[in-house]
Amino acid sequence: MKDSEIKEILVKSNEEFKKIYEEHQDFENQLKGFQSKHFLTSEEEIEMKKIKKKKLVLKDKMQKYIEDYKREHRN
């Protein structure tokens, strides 16, 4: 089973995973907003770096859930 399929299952069945996923998506959308600008202020650059770090932490948490799911559902 692909990670994307497991992610879909977890979003539907695990509230904590869903919360992490939605927060990750929110950060992704914020980054897209920054990336659409031609110029960033120094404050915006700092904020973008903070968001990237937070997004990475959430990605790691989601990956742990996915790996746990794979372990629990091995054939």
Distance CA 68, CA 8 (A): 15
pLDDT of residue 34 exceeding 80, the answer is yes
Instruction: Spell out the domain ranges in the chain.
Output: 3-72
pTM, two decimal places: 0.87
* Residues ≥6 apart with Cβ < 8 Å to 21: 7, 10, 11, 62
pLDDT band (50, 70, 90) for residue 21: very high
* Residues ≥6 apart with Cβ < 8 Å to 54: 27
At 74 the pLDDT is 83
Mean local confidence (pLDDT), 24-45: 95
pLDDT band (50, 70, 90) for residue 75: low
Mean local confidence (pLDDT), 11-19: 97
